Amino acid sequence: MPSIQNYIDGEWTDSESGDTFETVNPAAPSEVVAAYQESTASDADAAVAAAADAETGWASVPAPERGAILKAAGDVLAERKSELTSQLTREEGKTHAEAGGEVQRAVDIFHYYAQKARDLGGTVKSSSGRRTNLYTREEPVGVTALITPWNYPIAIPAWKIAPALAAGNVVTIKPASLAPGPAVSIVEALDEAGIPDGAINLVTGPGKTVGNAVIGHGRVDAVSFTGSSAVGHQVYDLATDDSKRVQTEMGGKNPTIVADSADVEEAADIVASGAFGVTGQACTAGSRAIVYEDVYDEFVDAIVDRATAIEVGPGDEYDMGPQVSEDELESTLGYIDVAKEEGATLAAGGSAPDGGRFGDGYFVEPTVFSDVSVDHRLAQEEVFGPVLAVLEVDGFEDAIDVANNVNYGLSASILTHDHTEANCFVEETEAGVAKINEKTTGLELHVPFGGFKSSSSETWREQGDAGLDFYTIEKTVYENF
């Protein structure tokens, strides 16, 4: 079993605590995947200090040279894709197809921002004076702290690290303890690519100790967080106490509206992919199907067929893998019990299979509830598991009201052949991502991503040019001659 160290100031090092914690394969929890450092606040302080000491040096590296290092790191990840895919499946539980797609996304992100680094600079403006040059400079914010989740353990670190480094910032990252391995692999790739000491630092350990120490550190200038809404609001409060720049991307309760003009069989395929893909463990997962009454019964039958056809098992062989941990599984099963108690109809799934290929893994069946009311907890709260609530509505206005009647606003979709409905949906949906005839999951890397309401701090978006905006600050220059 490998023992993974922290990466601080260009060196792999043990925590001062001398302690480690283990990660396990969620498909077979008796199988230990790796041991990581049980770091302390002092370790976090050392990582931030190393970043701060490297700040000026990394910022002074020409942006195309920074981009070349990102390109080289992306190449290393590409060369290791097969290995990283297996690592992600073993530590997080995704199927091989899902894990391979996520690793490729990390590669693509590094290559994308490697090229975008060349575009950094500023703009020239016309001055009202005859002998004045007027222009802007884009400069790095400084020392950044990145807190990343377990559900996309290589893609999300990539889309935070790459733009931060491309813009000339220095980074300390604290990955989630359930699956830190893929983030470690990114740091290994950057180290191999020749990044200067201190420009990237990684510390593993508990969020309340390591995460809070990094976020609250006096030398940190900006904080980027992805995770649950409950933790995200705490991160925001801690980071803004001393006026740090902060972005938080959090949970979702994402609706897919199924109109009566949609092809029901096709709609069921789309909804099933968004609800049950990655075992429902995505902030953009489609957890609510809001269906017009004229096609409601037909849709329920079709989505039940899709759910029951999914083969559950270890991710290296089956259609849907396990949940990441026992706690996540118990949370999902708890919501299933609540839905039954509230009077929803269990139409498919609802159990945790065991024995045979399931062993003691954290498996749950793809689950569909019909007859869900808008005030049920299943229609209001994020489950973060493969559980779909199907709600019946009498038309578009009712559907959009139900879709917006939650505290979240991350991703939303409508399946319709009515052009007017589609355009009204885009105008009226209270979500940061609006999709027409697509599942709620799946994001392009070159456009902004973020939510409304409790899904986001609504401060800065991620990915694309917006990802660089968070990590840069403009300086305006007046040059008289």
Which residues are bridge partners to 257 per DSSP?
290, 414
Q: DSSP for 309-368?
A: HPPBS-TTTSSB---SSHHHHHHHHHHHHHHHHTT-EEEE------SGGGTT------EE
Q: DSSP for 174-225?
A: EE-TTS-HHHHHHHHHHHHHTPPTTSEEE--S-IIIIIHHHHT-TT--EEEE
Residue 283: active-site member: yes
Distance between CA atoms of residues 297 and 400, nearest Å: 20
Q: How far is CA 94 from each of CA 13, 87, 128, 182, rounded to the nearest angstrom?
A: 29, 10, 58, 13
Distance between CA atoms of residues 298 and 127, nearest Å: 65
Distance between CA atoms of residues 283 and 440, nearest Å: 10
Among 294, 176, 284, which Cα is nearest to 225's? Answer: 176
Q: Is 169 in contact with 143 (CB distance < 8 Å)?
A: yes
Distance between CA atoms of residues 44 and 160, nearest Å: 18
H helical segments located in 219-369 = 229-240, 264-276, 293-309, 326-341
Distance between CA atoms of residues 379 and 373, nearest Å: 7
Distance between CA atoms of residues 108 and 17, nearest Å: 37
Catalytic residue among 77, 186, 283, 402: 283
Locate 374 and state its tokens: 């808008």
133: left (phi over 0), alpha (psi -120 to 50) or beta: beta
Q: Which contiguous run of DSSP H or E holds residue 291?
A: strand 286-292
Among 407, 412, 409, 347, which Cα is nearest to 377's? Answer: 407
Q: How far is CA 61 from each of CA 2, 27, 169, 469, 471, rounded to the nearest angstrom?
A: 34, 44, 11, 19, 16
Check the CA dihedral 435-258-411-227 and report its sign.
negative
Locate 186 and state its tokens: 């990114």
Give the residue numbers marked as catalytic: 283
